[in-house]
Amino acid sequence: MNILVVDDEKRIRDVIKEYLLLENFTVYEAENGLEAVEVVNKNKIDLVIMDIMMPQMDGYTACKKIKQIKNIPFIMLSARSEEYDKLIGFDLGIDDYVTKPFSPKELVARVKAITKRNNKEGIITLAGIKIDDLAHEVYIDDKLVELTPKEYDLLKYMILNKNIALSRENLLSNLWGYDYYGDDRTVDTHIKTLRANMGKYRNLIKTVRGMGYKIEYKEDI
């Protein structure tokens, strides 16, 4: 999961980054709102942690511009605790509001809570792949790709079981059903077509010799 940390104080960015890296998040940085908008334009960002009072472009303005690009979850940071400031943020659609000084561990816990909530709403992500399970759609780098129902089920199952070697028998029984009497080469055929649809992420699917397949992904890749 890619997180953008935006604060004009490098010391604060460094502390937040250190704690996020310990939880295997990928971290991008920006020192003002203008730079944050550029980072979101050029990269796949899943969540933004943003200070409000910054030079060149404040957090509220940056949040508004980023929301026009993509509806990304936001946690706003501020030394101010007035109710009015919080209401402005929530009106912009932010997910959480943290007042400085704050506990880095608590901030990471809030990040995890937002991530878990988004997954419960039917969004599953891995690298540049996003599965909208409610709409039954798959996006590669924010572009909709057409998958067959079985390719969709296969991709979803493997992502939910990432870094686990899955035998052909496992895949057949879980995705085709225990009463399926076809050849296990059916799995190989579907893996081949799925890879073809995954673009630059095709190599995430690894062949486990003599067994089956797995999606191999480390957050720091």
Which structure tokens are listed for 124? 């599953």
Residue 213 β-bridge partners: 166, 207
Tokens of 164: 């686990």
* pLDDT greater than 50 at residue 125: yes
Domain ranges, residue 190: 127-215
Cα(213)–Cα(150) distance, integer angstroms:
16
Domain endpoint, select from 98, 120, 142: 120
Residues 156-172 pLDDT 10s: 999 988 888 999 888 88
- Summarised one tens digit per residue, pLDDT across range 126-158 is 888 999 887 889 999 989 999 999 999 999 999
Q: Which two tokens stand for residue 80?
A: 């101010």
Segment 71-121, tens digit of pLDDT: 788 999 987 665 666 677 777 788 888 888 889 999 999 998 887 776 656
Is the distance from CB of 46 to CB of 2 less than 8 angstroms? yes
Q: Which residues contact 43 (CB under 8 A, 6 or more apart)?
A: 2, 4, 28
DSSP 8: S
Predicted pLDDT at 117:
72
220 in a domain, yes or no? no
The reply to whether 131 and 189 lie within a common domain is: yes
CA angle 181, 186, 190 (to 5 degrees): 145
Q: Do both 35 and 101 map to the same domain? A: yes
**Whole-model pTM?**
0.56
Averaged confidence pLDDT in the chain: 87
Q: Which of 104, 143, 140 is nearest to 25 (CA)?
A: 104
Asked whether residue 146 is domain-assigned, the answer is yes
